Amino acid sequence: MPYEPVLLANIYKKDSHTLAVYEAGGGYRSLRRVLKGTSPADLVRMIRESGLRGRGGAGFPTGLKWSFLPKDHPGPIYFCVNADESEPGTIVNRVQMEADPHQVLEGIILSCYATRASTAYIYMRWEYAQCLKRMQAAIDESYAAGYLGQNILGSGYSLDVYIHRGAAAYVCGEETGLIESIEGKRAWPRIKPPFPAVEGLFRKPTVVNNIETVSCVKHIVDRGVAWFKSIGRPPEPGNPADPGSFGPKLFGLSGHVNRPGCYEAPLGIPLRQLVEECGGGVWKGRKAKAAIPGGLSTGVLTEAEFDTCLDFAEPMHAGCLGLGTGCVTVFDETYSMVDLLYNACRFFAHESCGQCTPCREGTRWALQMISRIKAGQGRLKDLELLAEIGNSIGALPGTTICGLADGAGWLIKTVLRKFPEELEQYIKRTNAQGYSRCEPAVAMTANNHG
């Protein structure tokens, strides 16, 4: 694949995490240039023209999000960087923070300057001990070098950056849940409006962006809008809802492949190409059966859909929720979709914060039903009930505050729709005497599968 890495360009250099190595490769050059002669409004305009979209899952246009901040607010304005990365199979932010923390930090400083933020919080999951060590060392080096603190590089702009460690709750990937956690409260997502740009952290205007997103900001400033838009895919013809998928993207590749890892490619790379060229194909000489294109919440693609391009639009044409984090999990022909449903339902039931009844109860009931199916006590009726749950919970049908339930439901719906025969045959094979029963099941608990 003829592509020159940008986001991962430094990771194989010796001591790539240090300030000396980063500066030797041109690090903080973009920051110096911006602070000398670019206004925050001009920088927001540049990012908006670039078409950069959030890499954390939703794909919302970054410059547009920044423009929602009130223009005449006296401050403070806060900037929160989402480094929680709790989606199963998602690893790309960890690679960036461990191997090239100053790239992340320069992107944060540029983003804060553009949004007029005076304080930034990096919200990091508890298990990322090496990320904490590397990012804190980078912050300390940047303060000592004058890239952080008061009057940065004599520009008159001041910024403080802090790391806030979370307890690795999946719901903290939702921006208002993250904000609640930073404030020291239980991470229950807030009802919106007001949106964080108006009333966010400590009830002040706030921007929340992902680690990879702010890293892209550094390279847009360094290389220009035209360069960024030369990578990726333009808007779909006739689709006014698609602003395009531009720039480089980090893809995590895990599961049943020969070379799992973190790879950089242009947005829009076909899934099959990513698996074959980057991942070395499916392991053990087996064939692929399915893949999750960007985290459990996006749903599944069958092997026949592997030519789907990994951008913000095309996975939806294949019935997925979207690109998500862009972290792919591949399943070979021997893997059971019952196991996938069981593991996914167990995850979402555990991670539901419990604030919204449809999510709290729906994810738990889905787990109880798939637990019974897995234990050989399933009924064909259960597949109908699972589909009903999948269609009834989530922010999209308007029953919950955040999108956690959408992710739980989408995985259920796509597996049921794309692998119905396998699920039906499993139930008939493991419960030959009772698979057709329709009366209410007895003792539907998550622990009844022995």
Provide mean pLDDT across the span 59-76. Answer: 94
Instruction: Look at residue 168 and tell me whether its pLDDT is greater than 90.
Output: no
Structural domain 245-332, CATH architecture: Roll (3.10)
Q: Which fold has domain 337-430?
A: de novo design (two linked rop proteins) (1.20.1440)
Answer with the residue of higher pLDDT: 138 or 85. Answer: 138
Among 2-6, 121-125, 178-182, the least confident range: 2-6
CATH node for 19-230: 3.40.50.11540
Write out the residue limits of the CATH 3.10.20.600 domain(s) in the chain. 245-332
Three-state secondary structure call for residue 363: helix
Q: What is the pairing mode between strands 119-125 and 78-83?
A: parallel
Write out the residue limits of the CATH 3.40.50.11540 domain(s) in the chain. 19-230
Q: What is the mean pLDDT of the chain?
A: 94
Write out the residue limits of the CATH 1.20.1440.230 domain(s) in the chain. 337-430
Task: Give the helix ranges, DSSP H, for 393-433.
Answer: 404-418, 420-430
For residues 198-223, one letter each, b for 16 or more C-beta atoms within 10 angstroms of the residue's C-beta and e for the rest, the string is bbbbeebbbbbbbbbbbbbbbbbbbe
Name 7's Cβ contacts closer than 8 Å, sequence gap at least 6. 96, 103, 212, 215, 216, 219, 248, 250, 264
- Residue reference for tokens 């940047």: 142
Percentage of the chain surpassing pLDDT 70?
Answer: 98
Q: Which pLDDT belongs to residue 446?
A: 47
* Alpha-carbon span 374 to 430, nearest angstrom: 9
Give per-residue pLDDT as tens, 229-277: 999 999 998 888 899 999 999 999 999 999 999 999 999 999 999 999 9
Instruction: Give the Å distances, CA to CA, from 361 to 92, 343, 366, 379, 394.
Output: 32, 17, 9, 20, 12
Q: Which pLDDT belongs to residue 443?
A: 53
Helix 92-99 and helix 101-115: axis angle, to 10°? 100
Among 103-117, 207-221, 230-244, the least confident range: 230-244
The three-point CA angle 62-68-70 to 5° equals 140
